[in-house]
Structures are given as structure tokens and as C-alpha cells.
Structure 1
């Protein structure tokens, strides 16, 4: 029986033959003369003193060791997890790949639920794909019935949980309801960039039952590796068959893969958990301190590494903080988030400075 992915994929992608890079083609031998690499070359002094001193060679087509290490990490939560995975240049590339793989330019639409991460709409716009916006409810949960009405018209539904910029997780019962409703129509993408900060269960345990569920992860947040641009796309083989056709020839640089492997080692995972626990403790302290400030109307619950705050209408918190050298994120462009500012949780010292600045708002 044809998979949902095979029904949704545009004919141009269906017919596409992936670019056959030298590493993708592979081969066996002791002389590698197939990729136009410099074999006898200078190593540029200190640049070559990492664990890999063969920077004249192209990296692996897709770093399988890194992907395998991330699957092992996920299997700590779901032991029988059965999914394929590719390493991508941050979660943003995963979003872009999915739009380019499964949407017809000038014809299709994706579904998003604002306020949410802006890259979903940006990637759709850049590929001449429409965006159907079904706003979150007043408590920042999904309007499930309205979403269901749009599923037949949409190859992709993007959900962010925990959500950016609101900070809350989506009710898993609503996710399951949508997965049931979308089996024949829509690939459901859950962006879990902030999942390590959440007490709620990941959607990983649903992947074996729902082959049209796709999960995006990243090392940018809890692992603290935003600079290396390393993320992961987890999906059923039926989905990955087509995504792999659009993957760049050498998407992940060797230094990125090396750093990612260290982060996913036992020691790296232990360090990540320590950092996460410390950040959550700092966030709880900061949130408690905020409750004493008269300038604040509401502090939203957060399962992320940031807090969303609603200030009194007369106070331009973003500008006043900026004037004191503290750069936050103004959310006023979102109709549901007027007078709201998103503040990332930093060190205890950074949050104390921010708190003292907030006390000066008027």
C-alpha cells in the first residue's frame, strides 16, 4: 500500500535523482581520487590540531555516528523506538527540507498555530507556499476542530511543543487526536527544540504507531551548542525516502559532527542534564522574583529556557531594557502577545542584573 508521503510528494521530487556526491556513492580502496580533493596539502598549523587532521577530505554524506548517537539518546526514553534519522544544520534546515520535499509551490499550504516559531511561515513563503494560520486558544492550546477542517488541504502541519514564544507544551491528547485525523491527508511535524526543559512527555513514543509523525530536535538549546548548527530530523522510512533526495551533498562539517558526538557521549549527556537542572532552578528563582514587580501583569508558565512576560500597557519594557544594555525579544508583532517580552534565562548573575533593570521600569 502506498504511504501517505508517497501520495503527498510533488511529481518533481518523485522523479528527482539525488545528487550523487563522492561520499554518497562510497567505495572501497586505498587511493581516494574521486572527489577532486587535495591529497598532498598544507594543514594550516593550528587548524589541524583537532581530533581530525584530514580537513582536505569531504565529510561523510550524512554523519552516521552522530545520528546513531542521537538515536541512542532518544532510546533512553523510548527503548523500542523505530525511526530513521538524519543530521541537519539546525532545526531550521529540517523545516526547510520538509517544505521543499512535500509542498507544491504556488499550490499547497502548510498549517501553523500562532503565536509560534516564525521559521515555519518563512520557509513556506520562500518556496511560494501559502500558510494557513489557526491561532492558539487563549490558554495557548490548539484549536483542534479548526485544524481538522484544514487537514485535507495541507500536506504539512507544524506544531511546536514546548512552544516558542509562549513557553508551554501542547496537550498530548490533542496531538493524538490530530494524528488520528490526519492519517490520510497530512504529515504532522512536532518541533521539540525545547523538550529537555519540559516535564511533559515527548512525542517520541507515538512514532512507532503513526508513520506520518515527524519530530525535529536540536543541540542548540539544552546542549548549549547553537554555534555548531546541528539538529536532527526523525521520521519513518516512507518519509525519509523523499527527504533524502533533497539533502545537500555534504551537509554536516566534520568539526560539527565531532563536537556533537562529544555532547552525546555519557559525559556530555551528564553535563547537559546538570546545565538543564541549573537553568530550571534559576528560572524558577527569577520567576518568583518577578511576582513582586508592579510593572508586570502576567508571567506565563514556561517549559523552556525563557519566560514570556506581559507588562502594563503604559510600559515599553523592551525599549527600557535595551536602554540599559539588556537585549530581549519584543513580541508585540503578535496580536495575542501585545505588551509581551520574551526573556531568555541566562546565568544567575545575568538574571540578577535583568531583575534590577526591571525594577527601574516606569
Structure 2
């Protein structure tokens, strides 16, 4: 009975398969681009009988200090994923409009569009990286939203800020360029936030899940100029952020915590360099993608080596990329976790 009530686009929808959707057992978790660092927070929860602030003032103020923006340019969301949903719900008309993505890239752009019956103009990541802006603009067509994951997940590739600016300029009055900066703390000099002072058609997605080590909090931010966000504020749920989440996010964005985050990022970037060296020297590996973010994506000579790692409790993320199913993404962990990867690579063929 219920199936007969489903809209066609939902009945045919292929759900996003997250790293945590499979029930895996292991001891070393390097499959979900999480931070290896955990932190304790202080909570005073004696007012849960009251609704929270729709946009918690202290958190918005703290993120403004961090991002060098004004409060009207910052919207707090339930992870960056809600920002993706909100932009589509606000600016795309179901059954009529389209978005543009550059694959391979983050899978939730497609799932969100399919859920809302929004067409997808699927372009190649190489066009974004190597194509001229006029060529990209022409290929984008009538897309209302153009998603640029930067650094890109799962390849780690970077689109220069100058190219994002040129793309936004060529699409003025036609489309919004959505820059997903989930991993930008690992290469902060590449952020497109500085472009907001010159462009009304750029939106930036941010999260506390990666460098801030708060994947379990589900907290993100949508950054854009006030006019763009006015419409989004109409669409967002009335109380999207719980009191507990706001309290933790405020502490995570204190100046001391931001300093600690940057120290941890420096350590993880160092570990990434060491991991890339190990991979480049391994006979198990045929190709390493040299990208940014807290992960390294590589191609294995023998796909069965993934199963060997899983059996020893080292959990990494298999991928099918460029038409081949022997790709693997390894999240950057701490020294002990890096050692487990090293032991796996050193196992005889």
C-alpha cells in the first residue's frame, strides 16, 4: 500500500551509502574522514523545557570571529548536509530546475537533488580543473546551483580561488556557485570566503565534523551574503539547533579551541605527508592522488588487499573511481593508526 503512495523519484532513489551505514567491526577506523582527536565539553542542561534559539547568538558570534564575517552572512545548520538541502529547497523548483556537479565528488549533492526531483547536470571533475571558464559556464547550462567541492571528496583536488571567482562572475544573475569547504581547515589559504565581499552568487558550506573533531555533533554553517541568505532563512526549520549542540559548538569555537584545532591540523597534515611517502613506496599501490583534506585516495594493484586490512581490524573506505573498483580512501589518523596502515602495507603479497 505505502509503495503506491511514493512519488516516482523517491521510489527510484538510490540512498547515499555513508561510511557508517555498513555494520563493520574493527579497531582502527580510517574510513569516514573523522578526526582521531576527542575532547570533553561542559554542559549545563537545566533549561531543556524551553525551545532553543533558532540561531544561537553566541555560536554565530564565535563563527563570525573565526571566519571574519558578519552575523547576517552566517547561518548555522545541522551539518553541511542541511546547507545543501536548504539551497536546493530555496532556489530550485522541483521538476523544473537543475544543479551541476563535477564527478567524482561528494554523493549527497545527487541524493538531495534526486529527493527533491531536481535534475542533475553531471559534468566531469577534469572539466572543472582543466577547462576554461567559458567552457565550464557553457557546460553548466541552465543549472541554478553549481557545486564545487573544494578540496574535493574523494579525490582531494583543489580548484583555485581565482577560478571560482571567474566562474561566479560568468554566472552572475544565472546561478549560485556553492563551494563546499568541509575540508578547508587543512588548506585554509584556499578558502573562497574572501570572495563574498565581491560576489552575491557564492555560497560556502562549512562543517565542524572534520578539523574541529565534532562529527558526532552534526553542526555546519552556510556562509553567503545577506541577500542570498534572506530567502534561506524563510525555509530553514524554526529550531534547527538543539541547546546541547549550541553549547558544545560555542566551546569548540573559543579562541583556545581554535588554536588547538590548528595544532591538530598541523599534526594530521604531517601524518598525511608520511602516509603518502609510505604509499608511494609500497608495491601494493599503483597510484596516489595528490590532494588536500584529511585523507589520501589511492589505487591498489590488488583489490583483495582491502579485505586483508579489514580482517586485521583496519577499516578504510573502498571506492569505485574512473570506472575501476580498486580504489581506496584512507582517512588521516594519529601515529598509532598510521602504524597500523604501515603494517598492512608491509604484509607480504
Q: Give the alignment's TM-score, normalised by structure 2.
A: 0.83
Q: Match for residue 297 of structure 1?
A: 286
Are the equivalent residues in 2 in contact too, given 1:115–1:165 (CA < 8 A)?
yes
Distance change in 2, residues 1:90/1:55 (3 Å): same
Are the equivalent residues in 2 in contact too, given 1:140–1:166 (CA < 8 A)?
no
Q: Match for residue 134 of structure 1?
A: 123
- 2:58 paired residue among 62, 65, 70: 65
Tell me the CA shift for residue 319 of structure 1.
Answer: 2.7
Unaligned runs of 5+ in 1: 1-48
Are the equivalent residues in 2 in contact too, given 1:81–1:207 (CA < 8 A)?
no
Q: Match for residue 163 of structure 2?
A: 174
Matches within 5 A, 1:308-347: 308-312=297-301, 314-332=302-320, 334-335=321-322, 338-347=325-334
Are the equivalent residues in 1 in contact too, given 2:127–2:136 (CA < 8 A)?
no
Matches within 5 A, 1:154-303: 154-198=143-187, 200-303=189-292
Are the equivalent residues in 2 in contact too, given 1:134–1:143 (CA < 8 A)?
no
Distance change in 2, residues 1:361/1:254 (3 Å): farther
Unaligned runs of 5+ in 2: 1-41
Matches of 1:269 and 1:194 in 2, distance apart?
A: 15
Aligned-partner SS, 2:124: coil
Q: Give the alignment's TM-score, normalised by structure 1.
A: 0.80
Q: Match for residue 46 of structure 1?
A: none
Aligned-partner SS, 1:137: helix
Tell me the CA shift for residue 286 of structure 1.
Answer: 1.6
Matches of 1:183 and 1:283 in 2, distance apart?
A: 38
Matches of 1:196 and 1:207 in 2, distance apart?
A: 18
Q: Match for residue 10 of structure 2?
A: none
Are the equivalent residues in 2 in contact too, given 1:151–1:186 (CA < 8 A)?
no
Q: Match for residue 40 of structure 1?
A: none
Matches within 5 A, 1:67-82: 67-75=60-68
Q: Output the aligned Cα RMSD.
A: 2.0
Q: Which has the higher contact order (CA 8 A, sep 6+)?
A: 2
Tell me the CA shift for residue 140 of structure 1.
Answer: 5.3
Q: Deviations over 1:195-235 (max 9, x none)?
A: 01016421111101001110111111000001111100011
Aligned-partner SS, 1:321: helix
The total of aligned residue pairs comes to: 308
In terms of fraction of residues, the more strand-rich structure is: 2
Distance change in 2, residues 1:82/1:251 (3 Å): closer
Distance change in 2, residues 1:177/1:50 (3 Å): closer
Aligned-partner SS, 1:244: helix
